[in-house]
Structure 1
Amino acid sequence: MNGVNALDGLILTRHGESTGNLAYRAVQGTDAEETEIPERDADIPLTDTGRLQAAAFGRWLAELPDDERPTRVVTSPYLRARDTARIALAQTPFGPDEPGGLRIEMDERLRDREQGILEGLTPLGVRRRHPQEAARMRRLGKFYYRPPGGESWTDLALRLRSFYRDLDLSSPGARVLVVAHDAIVVMTRYIVEDLSEQEIMEIEKDPIGNCSVTRWQRHGGTLRPAAFNDCTHLLDADPATP
């Protein structure tokens, strides 16, 4: 039995492109040791492209059949996720500003994985500033390694199991939209599909797209995968795309 047993459907999306995403991309392939993101993780905002992506995701939501639309919306408390949910639902007839619309709830268990002393460092920065931690990570593997002051992937799984168990108990039969972070999308697959360490770490190698769709629908008494990391609805959200 998987970790989500009473929901009728589950849609996950990663927040739209953020200024933090741009900062990480800017230092790739350089000798930078830090990303130099000025905000704390919880306050990193969306870029203009991220807001366009959120609106495109909202238009996708608005086109869902009535029996597939979410009946509950829960988001990470981080700014980039909250704003993604707000912008997306504004494109739908069931957003919080519509009569009888859905309320956007927040749950701290959906926050991004905490990096502890490694926060803001590039892989090169980790190797240079914390060589013992880099060696521990290699020895233990990404799944079980916990940076000082941070979380392992298994720590994330524990808080997510708690979150989904509460959803099962409070909203049986609901169709839930979760707006959060790439690690949340990945570890939800681990929980819902009852995957192994090796399976989920292989999946994690491919980046989760901003405002992509990952989705499960109930068939034969269980939630079954319907889409993973689908970005086709975003083709008109990139300013560089004609």
Structure 2
Amino acid sequence: MGVFELRPSGAPAARAPEQAVRRALLGEWSCRPPGGEALADVALRVRDFTTELARAAHELPPVPDASVTHWRGDGRHLRLADWGQTAHLTGLSLAEGTS
């Protein structure tokens, strides 16, 4: 949504009617609002993320129950920092986890 982020759905038409016309012409899939990205951009970004995730996960063991996995990003790529950590579960008894 770019400059219209967190604004009501009618904000683009009210604040920048030319953007509303542009969006109607180009369609939601292709129109990039000022400072934002088109749905096609989002789809490509999600595809890249799932591709990297699948590549990294191919070499990993199954995820332990209640574990924590941590990824670090550099703005362009994610890197696996910790996989399936369960140290936070150490010392818990079954009674502590129930109400």
Q: How far apart, in 2, do the equivalents of 1:139 and 1:123 lie?
A: 18
- Residue 131 of structure 1 aligns with which residue? 17
Superposed displacement of residue 167, structure 1:
1.3
Among 49, 55, 68, the residue aligned to 1:169 = 55
2:37 alignment partner AA: E
Q: How far apart, in 1, do the equivalents of 2:16 and 2:6 lie?
A: 13
Identity of counterpart residues, as a percentage?
A: 35
Long gaps (5+) in structure 1 = 1-114, 177-242
2:26 alignment partner AA: L
Q: How far apart, in 1, do the equivalents of 2:45 and 2:11 lie?
A: 28
Structure 1 segment 105-144 matched on structure 2, within 5 A: 115-144=1-30
Superposed displacement of residue 134, structure 1:
0.3
Q: How far apart, in 2, do the equivalents of 1:140 and 1:164 lie?
A: 27
Superposed displacement of residue 139, structure 1:
0.4
How many residues matched? Answer: 62
Q: How far apart, in 2, do the equivalents of 1:151 and 1:165 lie?
A: 20
Q: Write out per-residue CA displacement over residues 87-136 of structure 1, whole angstroms, 9 at most, x where no aligned residue.
A: xxxxxxxxxxxxxxxxxxxxxxxxxxxx1111122232211111000001
Q: How far apart, in 2, do the equivalents of 1:153 and 1:116 lie?
A: 12
Q: How far apart, in 1, do the equivalents of 2:46 and 2:11 lie?
A: 29
Structure with greater contact order relative to length (CA < 8 Å, sep ≥ 6): 1
| SS of equivalent residue, structure 1 residue 133 | helix
Structure 1 segment 10-29 matched on structure 2, within 5 A: none
Q: Please identify the structure whose Cα radius of gyration is greater.
A: 2
Give the alignment's Cα RMSD to 1 decimal: 2.1
TM-score normalized with structure 1 length: 0.24
1:140 alignment partner AA: L
1:121 alignment partner AA: R
Moved over 4 A (4+): 173-176
Superposed displacement of residue 142, structure 1:
0.7
Q: How far apart, in 2, do the equivalents of 1:125 and 1:160 lie?
A: 27
Long gaps (5+) in structure 2 = 64-99
